[in-house]
């Protein structure tokens, strides 16, 4: 009796193609998470480093402020968006650089806290002479908001223009041929991707070990770097699941920014709030370091200005204005309700 060969119908109904597709998808997501570990940590260090670097006596822009970090992140975001058409980066590296790195360098939640502290004139160190009266808080609010938004938008546009200047090097009159410059850069970016995938887990382990071993100023940096990864990943999945739900309104980015601002407002209250006897709410130095690191790392990774600004290049102008207004209004209102109510009743430490 002859054995029958499998028919085409049985082959097409085989689960093997579906399994291979699932494995391929899982591998892609796994590699992306590895890249997210590396670039979220790098982005967090970049943001905190820029804040420290630009906070000095006599600075034209008084610190500490997230302004310079937002400007730098928006520039890189604009550069990457324009260079995307030349296919110099793999989809994995492009997503890691824009979503993980730029998103972690910039911080929407820190911007909202800056808006409140300046408008409410909370920290006397930032305005030594104080405001003439409380109504000038409106001017402070507008000064911070417009400066942050307009400089970030300008930086993003500048990144686009810089990338366009390099366009002739990446284009060839013969469309069937790839310019040599493109091949060279692709080889470099492919090598960078492989290095990142190999180093991501060891880098994370090093941060955990350093945070556990060294009980000094470096702990706030290493703990922040550890918390940056879950924040960036949460923002990525929120955007992936929600951004397409409402046309012309990126719900995922909105949810990430609002949630991160809410958490940072609570953290700011806990770390800077005063009790009735003017003592700090948190007495343990270790607990304070962990909570501050949670704000710098998790909230810094969860919220983003670079993506927030990049979306204005995609949305129609009117929709952009609605999206910006709703995002800022909701986030700032939460800060006022949480932080403002406590500030005006019990006060915050300078």
Note the pLDDT of residue 95. 94
Note the pLDDT of residue 305. 96
Question: What global pTM score does this model have?
Answer: 0.88
d(CA 105, CA 46) in angstroms, rounded, equals 6
When the pLDDT of each residue in the chain is averaged and rounded to a whole number, the result is 88
Class of residue 168 by CB neighbours under 10 A (exposed 0-12, middle 13-18, buried 19+) = exposed
Give me the residue spans of the domains in the chain.
26-343
Peptide bond connecting 64 to the previous residue in cis, omega within 30 degrees of 0 = yes
User: Tens digit of pLDDT for each residue in 162-194?
Assistant: 999 987 777 765 565 677 778 888 899 999 999
Q: pLDDT tier at 104 (50, 70, 90 boundaries)?
A: very high
What is the per-residue burial (b if ≥16 Cβ within 10 Å, else e) of 59-86? eeebbbbbbbbbbbbbbbbbbbbbbeeb
User: Tens digit of pLDDT for each residue in 43-102?
Assistant: 999 999 999 999 988 888 888 899 999 999 999 999 999 888 888 889 999 999 999 999
d(CA 342, CA 218) in angstroms, rounded, equals 30
Do residues 90 and 131 lie in contact, with contact meaning Cβ atoms separated by under 8 Å?
no
């Amino acid at each position: 009796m002859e054995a029958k060969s499998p028919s085409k119908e049985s082959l097409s109904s085989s689960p093997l193609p579906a399994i291979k597709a699932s494995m391929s998808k899982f591998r892609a997501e796994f590699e992306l998470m590895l890249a997210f570990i590396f670039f979220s940590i790098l982005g967090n260090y970049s943001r905190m480093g820029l804040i420290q670097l630009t906070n000095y006596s006599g600075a034209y822009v008084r610190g500490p402020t997230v302004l310079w970090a937002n400007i730098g992140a928006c520039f890189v975001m604009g550069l990457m968006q324009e260079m995307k058409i030349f296919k110099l980066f793999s989809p994995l590296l492009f997503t890691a650089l824009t979503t993980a790195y730029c998103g972690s360098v910039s911080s929407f939640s820190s911007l909202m806290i800056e808006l409140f502290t300046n408008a409410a004139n909370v920290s006397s160190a930032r305005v030594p002479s104080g405001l003439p009266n409380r109504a000038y808080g409106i001017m402070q609010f507008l000064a911070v908001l417009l400066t942050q938004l307009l400089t970030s938008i300008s930086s993003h546009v500048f990144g686009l223009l810089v990338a366009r200047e390099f366009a002739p090097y990446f284009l060839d009159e013969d469309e069937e041929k790839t310019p040599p410059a493109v091949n060279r850069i692709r080889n470099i970016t492919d090598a960078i991707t492989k290095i990142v995938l190999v180093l991501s887990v060891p880098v994370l382990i090093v941060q955990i070990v350093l945070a556990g071993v060294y009980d000094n100023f470096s702990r706030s940096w290493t703990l922040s770097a550890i918390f940056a990864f879950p924040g960036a990943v949460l923002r990525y999945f929120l955007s992936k699941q929600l951004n397409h739900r409402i046309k012309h309104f990126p719900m995922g980015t909105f949810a990430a920014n609002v949630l991160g601002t809410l958490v940072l407002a609570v953290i700011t209250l806990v770390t800077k709030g005063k009790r009735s006897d003017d003592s700090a709410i948190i007495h343990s130095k270790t607990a304070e370091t962990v909570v501050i690191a949670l704000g710098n790392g998790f909230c810094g990774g969860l919220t983003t200005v670079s993506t927030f600004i990049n979306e204005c290049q995609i949305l129609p102008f009117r929709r952009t204005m609605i999206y910006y207004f709703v995002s800022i209004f909701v986030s700032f209102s939460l800060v006022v309700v949480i932080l403002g109510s406590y500030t005006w009743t019990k006060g915050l430490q300078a």
